Amino acid sequence: MRRSPKETEDSARLTHRRALLMGGAMTAMFAVLGARMRYLSVDQADQFKLLAEENRISIRLIPPARGLIQDRNGKLLAGNEQNYRVIITREDAGDVHAVLARLAYVIPLTAEDLDRTAKEMQRSSPFAPITVADRLTWEDLSKVALNAPSLPGVSPEFGLSRIYPRDTDFAHVLGYVGPVSEKDLEGLDKPDALLTIPKFQIGKIGVERWLENDLRGKAGTRRIEVNAVGRVMRELERVEGDPGADIRLTIDADVQNFVQARLGDESAAAVVMDVTNGDVIAIVSSPSFDPNLFVRGISHTDYNGLMENDHRPLANKTVQGVYPPGSTFKMVTALAALKEGVISVNTTIRCPGYIEFGGRRFHCWKRAGHGQVDLERSLTESCDVYYYEIAQKVGIDKIAEMGRALGLGIRHDLPMSAIAEGVMPDKAWKLASQKAEWRIGDTINASIGQGYVLTSPLQLAVMTARIATGRAVVPRLVRSIDGRETAVPDAPRLEIGTEILNRVRAGMFAVVNAERGTAKSSRIVDPDMVWAGKTGTSQVRNITAAERARGVISNDQLPWNRRDHALFVGFAPYDKPRYAVSVVVEHGGGGSTAAAPIARDAILRAMSDGLPPLTAYPASQRNRIEAMLAKLPLRDATGRAPTPTRA
């Protein structure tokens, strides 16, 4: 049907209108899209460029230099050395086994090194660098660099590693560092990001552990560009971190070395303290070990050798070891009885060689007895019966109270591992720990430092310092942190009468200076260095009545581990005390023969600028002492250990 001209005109007009509307809508849409494109590509260009940069830039942590540890005079005890190592990245290496085989021709690698590297690569990301070998020489590192074209994925690297230049002298004090373990991270809500770095090392024991937060420092950062698969392309920026704080200890490295050498191969411990401020001048446990072995990764052979040694070189006997103090405890019993007024300084007691109580005999070390004994003679000749009798009068609770006042049975707060509290027993202690009532026989045993009483060499040194000064001296091991002096702990006066203390000190003076003193052979003849002290011998086995009847077996006829412990405590100079010393020689036999000579040498070294002066020794001993001192394996002025000589 033909449309009329009017209908055709209306239809054309409607089509034209629709085309205009559609065209306008499309134009508007393109205008909006264009404006949006301009906004994104021009107005927001800088922002999106920054986002793109951030997406391809990775932030990596840079381990800081660990703080140094020095002695009181600034001598280096723990430092950092340049460490040359070789790393391999699996993603860049291609055939890893072939590359490692070629590398083994360039530098010395053991089968254990190769096996360890392969296992670590299997556990790690293909882009993570794995250490193949470290502590390489410069020559070996140069060989790797020269052969780089044939060693894809392998690269030399420089870093810092902990080193202990005085090795065995400070092993028990400083401890050592090692890689972060899962155990180290336990209990940390927000661990330091540094602890997540593979093989990052932290303190494991000793000062290294207890002052870890000060020594660690703060991490630096480096911005690196990576490609789409995470491969490092280039370093864009490096910001070094803050090194850890330097620690200065109170210990004198030369005195420490002398005491370590003087203890020799004995299983022993010695502590030297400055009684005026509590500074620990030397704190030595023997035998020792080389902490550098642990930093580098100790071998099974070396570790088993340390573990199987019956002298326990890994144990820190100065603070961890606890021993019956033997007769070195007699000053505690005497002071308790004097303070409570149950005896006077002139009280005498007859010693027939034993006392009987509850159907049992408690023997004096001198079988025939000492006769009539007063306070001074009881200390001079170390009469046991005197203390058996006065202990029953004063009671264990007052003895324990005096022991704690003198620093026994207390955990002294030093930055060292496994510090023991010891045992200063009383009635409440036995009831709580042994579920038994205290007996008079327990008091008798405790009066001479046997039975339940256990003390550490550190505690014995503190006890001696407090007797010498009449003040509650507190031991201090850290002299300064990052140049800031640590506070010297307050040392208030002890609640013990001066006259009482003076009489006990006089008894200790007679021990090393009187004709019948138990340590007369260890006297000091220089009038400016004269000292006072007390011997001690503690049993490690029971002596039966039958053995006493036929004669007690002498220590030198017993196996080493069944011999008595030998102890000695002392202070010098007598008139103006400056240093206190304690020595424990495990299974040494007798305090006068094994411990006192070592204690004398140690305290003389502390009072001298160099070796103990021969003029301080009795003339009859000087040739022997001179020969002994000449043989000691002492370090030279630079701290270098002596070179072993061939026989």
Does 387 have pLDDT greater than 80?
yes
Q: Are the beta carbons of 526 and 615 closer than 8 angstroms?
A: yes
Q: What's the pTM? A: 0.85
Q: Are the beta carbons of 236 and 57 closer than 8 angstroms?
A: yes
Task: Determine the pLDDT at residue 562.
Answer: 77
Q: How large is the C-alpha radius of gyration of the chain?
A: 37
Give the model confidence (pLDDT) of 451-506 as tens digits. 999 999 999 999 999 999 999 999 999 999 999 999 999 999 999 999 999 999 99
Q: Which one is predicted more confidently, 65 or 556? A: 65
Report CA-CA distances (Å) from 334 to 341, 496, 503, 533: 11, 12, 10, 15
Helix axes 396-405, 330-340, angle to 10 degrees: 110
Q: Are the beta carbons of 607 and 365 closer than 8 angstroms?
A: no
Classify burial at 112, counting beta carbons within 10 Å of its beta carbon; exposed 0-12, middle 13-18, buried 19 or more. exposed
Does 49 have pLDDT greater than 60?
no
Q: Percentage of the chain with pLDDT > 90? A: 61
- DSSP annotation string for 454-476: BB-HHHHHHHHHHHHHSB----B
Q: Are the beta carbons of 297 and 134 closer than 8 angstroms?
A: no
- DSSP annotation string for 147-204: TGGGSTTEEEEEEEEEE-TTGGGGHHHH--EEE--HHHHTT-SS--GGGGSTT-EEE-
Q: Percentage of the chain with pLDDT > 70? A: 87
How many degrees, rounded to 5, is the angle at CA 568 between CA 330 and CA 488?
Answer: 90
Task: Determine the pLDDT at residue 29.
Answer: 78
Q: Which one is predicted more confidently, 258 or 129? A: 258
Q: Give the pLDDT band (50/70/90) at residue 229.
A: very low
- DSSP annotation string for 580-638: EEEEEETT-S-IIIIIHHHHHHHHHHHHSSSSPPGGGS-GGGHHHHHHHHHHS----TT
Does 313 have pLDDT greater than 80?
yes
Q: Are the beta carbons of 579 and 606 closer than 8 angstroms?
A: yes
Task: Determine the pLDDT at residue 231.
Answer: 53
Domains of the chain (ranges, CATH numbers): 59-181+190-249 (3.90.1310.10), 253-304+317-545+558-631 (3.40.710.10)
| CB-facing half-sphere around the CA of 167: CA atoms within 13 A | 14
Average the pLDDT over 375-398 and give the result. Answer: 97
Does 441 have pLDDT greater than 70?
yes
The dihedrals phi and psi of 573, each to the nearest 5 degrees, come to: -65, 155
E strand residue ranges, 327-477: 349-351, 354-357, 360-363, 371-373
Measuring CA to CA, which residue among 529, 534, 582 is closest to residue 375?
534
Q: Which one is predicted more confidently, 21 or 270? A: 270
Measuring CA to CA, which residue among 467, 468, 476, 466 is closest to residue 412?
476
Residue type, 56: R
**324 vs 174: CA distance, rounded Å:** 27
**400 vs 334: CA distance, rounded Å:** 12
Measuring CA to CA, which residue among 257, 288, 289 is closest to residue 272?
257
Residue type, 57: I
Does 647 have pLDDT greater than 50?
no
Report CA-CA distances (Å) from 525 to 281, 373, 621: 23, 27, 11
Report CA-CA distances (Å) from 56 to 41, 44, 90, 196: 20, 19, 21, 22
**6 vs 97: CA distance, rounded Å:** 91
Give the model confidence (pLDDT) of 276-299 as tens digits. 999 999 999 999 999 999 987 788
Q: Are the beta carbons of 255 and 575 closer than 8 angstroms?
A: no
Task: Determine the pLDDT at residue 409.
Answer: 97
Task: Determine the pLDDT at residue 227.
Answer: 57
Give the model confidence (pLDDT) of 110-167 as tens digits. 777 788 777 777 766 676 667 787 778 788 878 887 887 788 878 777 778 899 999 9
Task: Determine the pLDDT at residue 25.
Answer: 73
Give the model confidence (pLDDT) of 585-624 as tens digits. 999 888 999 999 999 999 999 999 999 999 999 999 999 9
The dihedrals phi and psi of 642, each to the nearest 5 degrees, come to: -65, 150
SS3 528: coil
| CB-facing half-sphere around the CA of 264: CA atoms within 13 A | 12
Residue type, 556: D
**59 vs 500: CA distance, rounded Å:** 69
Measuring CA to CA, which residue among 120, 160, 136, 177 is closest to residue 298?
177
Measuring CA to CA, which residue among 98, 105, 108 is closest to residue 153?
98
What mean pLDDT is reported for the chain? Answer: 87
Measuring CA to CA, which residue among 304, 387, 580, 558 is closest to residue 467?
580
Q: Annotate 152-162 with b (16+ C-beta within 10 A) or e (fewer).
A: bbbbbeeebbb
Q: Are the beta carbons of 284 and 315 closer than 8 angstroms?
A: no
Average the pLDDT over 569-576 and give the result. Answer: 98
**190 vs 27: CA distance, rounded Å:** 58
Which residues are designated catalytic? 327
